[in-house]
Chains A and B, each alone.
Chain A
Amino acid sequence: MSDRIFGVFGMLLAIGYALAAFAIEESFLSDAVGPKAFPLIIAAILGLSSAAIALRPEAEPEWPALGRLAEIAAAVVVMIIYAEMLPVAGFVIATAFAAAYLAWRLGSKPLEAVATGIGTSVGIYVIFHLVLGLSLARGPLGF
């Protein structure tokens, strides 16, 4: 069933992609092929392979329980917040929180998670910023 849904989704993607390709504005100065042809070929392959997947589905993958899916979704949200907060809070603070969260969700005890978070953040700061000179996001505190 998953493969059928995936195949249908793929076909919709192919149609959307093809429509977007048709909408590309042609420049008055164009080569013989133009900017649309290659994307249209790709759309055809995408659509055909999706149809094949939908028509001949394989064995069902093992989807995780709802709780586990929520776990992944939560991690994604944390990462998005991390990406947005990076320029605001500064690298060291933001990274310590994000790493601690991930360590905690992977089964660390709270104390160990905090230690992992701070250790990862400071470790990366020292190696990448102080030693290698990579510019990391600066927070209000200067790090």
Chain B
Amino acid sequence: MDTLSNLADGFVIALTWQNLLLALLGCFLGTIMGALPGLGPSNGVAILIPLAFTMGLGATPSLILLTSVYYGAMYGGRISSILLNIPGDEPAMMTCLDGYPMAKKGMAGEALSLSGVASFVGAFLATWGLILLAPQLVKIALLFGPAEYFALFALAFMTLGGVSSTNQAKSAFAAALGLGLATIGVDTQTGVPRFTFGEVHLYDGLDFLVAIVGLFALSEVFIFLEHRHGGSDAQGRKIEIGRIYPPLSMLKQCTPTMLRTSVLGFLAGVLPGAGASLGSFISYSMEKRLVDKEGTFGTGDPRGVAAPEAGNNAAAGGALVPMLALGVPGSGTTAVLLAVLLSLNITPGPLLFSQNPDVVWGLIAALFIANFMLLAMNIPMVGLFTRILLVPSRILMPIVAMVSFVGIYGISGSTFDLLVMIGFGVMGWGLRKLDVPLVPVILGTLLGNAMENNLRRAISIDNGNWWTLIDSPLAIALWTIAIIGFVLPIIVNRKAKAKMHQKRDEEGAISD
């Protein structure tokens, strides 16, 4: 009952003209960003953060705008998967497998609308899952002391490696690199400068927004320059959509699939380190094993379109659970959303639910509203978005680069930050070439200070005794899960991961 009244309060907050307009804008921009290959949810949200700040938005409206972009990108990714066989963003990769064959059979419209419905079902159920699960997680999180938080952060980094990369050493490297970058600046507890090398600009530490925009958005520009990929992928191809409403029989056939994969995708999203990509991957694999009796998956089976779409949208909702309830994001995009919250001086975690209930419930209500908006945008108006695919990247990428510069300059007004951002862009390009995942780097720069503070607090409380870190059953449990999460993929998962990674060369570094 409590939940429902909270939710009602949330709707009161979300149903203002400003917030509705922001949700609409976010959904629209998000769908575009998802649809365009080269702009995914994480860099899409990243380049819009400065926009939210310059508009002087408060915490709730900013979050509404940016999570609408996040949800929208999850919807939009499928459009180019189905029409062009090129995933618009990472999580939409599995949609290519059956979506493109359907389009080739002349059923592009059906595939698009069916996947739109599947996205809606996945996101809708996941938002309910968020409502039900997050408060429970908060109850557990309230038992956490500094030692447990330290273990939780370690868990996030260690399990993140298991899914985000094929190489545990590289993800450990990425995490350490991010944490190391976070230590630059004046030490918060003793006030001594660290790793600043006398550079005054570094005393404040590196702004993680600068790091995020550089690593995600600018490195993408460099990748495009490297391949001189200036055209539009849609050029010279005929895009025919046909009917834009799915036949009822098809919906009926896919309903059990959508329900199953929504649940599965949501659970995959809640796991730390897993994101929407994993959600769509395991959803598709499970459905294939479960219902593909005649071997039609991969040849344009509607269920093969519905499964990954419901799965990735549900996972997107699921990934918000640990971000809001524990302050530990599970994926690239939720890491970027965490950066937004931190910049607005709001610390996510259990206290968020008691101290800023308006933020949490307003956001949740906005997610419901955004979801209906997205359904409306993505079925009747899908033709509009397919036309956006015709914009060639030689025009798009300069705009992306310049908006990134404007945003960072708008926040800080300093040339130094722009130079740091360029540096991060080059670093991001190099790391992507070497197949080092970028998400742990971002997570490290975001969580580094909190992680160190919890470590030092825990040990100071216990008079310098380091064993305090594994002193409580809860901490031991967290460490055990962390170690299993790190070691297990090294032993078993090679094959499954190789399969999941085979199609994702450089794109894979920005997984969500």
Contact = CB atoms under 8 A, between A and B. Distances in A.
Contacts, number: 204
Interface in B338-378: none
A99 B227 CA distance: 18
Interface stretch (B116-124, B243-251, B401-409): B401-409
B176 A42 contact: yes
A83 B419 contact: yes
Contacts of A31: 189-190, 456, 460
B106 interface: no
Contact of B228 (A46, A71, A83, A95): A71
B224 interface: yes
Contacts of B227: 64, 68
Q: How big is chain A's contact interface, by range?
A: 35 or more
Contacts of B434: 2-3, 6, 61
B382 interface: no
A38 B452 contact: yes
A97 to B, nearest CB: 11
Nearest to B456: A33
> Which secondary structure characterizes the binding site on chain A?
helix
B191 interface: yes
Nearest to A45: B176
B483 to A, nearest CB: 14
B232 to A, nearest CB: 11
Contact of B175 (A29, A45, A56): A45
A79 interface: yes
A110 interface: no
Given A53-B169, A68-B228, A120-B402, A32 B395 contact: no
A24 B192 contact: yes
Contact of B173 (A10, A87, A99, A133): A10
A76 interface: yes
B460 A103 contact: no
A24 B185 CA distance: 11
B54 A84 contact: no
A64 B226 contact: yes
B498 to A, nearest CB: 12
A49 to B, nearest CB: 4
A143 interface: no
Given A49-B172, A79-B422, A106 B225 contact: yes
Contacts of A20: 194-195
A134 interface: yes
A47 to B, nearest CB: 9
B415 A25 contact: no
A120 B167 CA distance: 40
B189 A35 contact: yes
B415 to A, nearest CB: 5
Contacts of A135: 410, 413
B190 A68 contact: no
Given A30-B190, A80-B419, A42 B179 contact: yes
A39 B224 CA distance: 35
Contacts of A56: 169
A112 to B, nearest CB: 8
B405 A83 contact: yes
Given A34-B190, A45-B172, A56-B169, A120 B399 contact: yes
B460 A52 contact: no
Contacts of A26: 190, 192
Interface of B: 51, 54-55, 166-170, 172-173, 175-177, 179-180, 183, 187, 189-192, 194-195, 218, 221-222, 224-231, 393-395, 397-399, 401-403, 405-406, 409-410, 413, 415, 418-419, 422, 425-426, 429, 433-435, 451-452, 455-456, 459-460, 463-464, 505
Given A62-B505, A128-B54, 10 more contacts: A17-B180, A32-B459, A35-B189, A42-B179, A50-B169, A68-B228, A71-B226, A106-B225, A106-B393, A136-B410
| In the complex, the 9 A-B pairs of residues with the closest C-beta atoms, listed nearest first | A107-B230, A52-B169, A106-B394, A32-B464, A83-B418, A106-B230, A49-B172, A102-B398, A134-B54
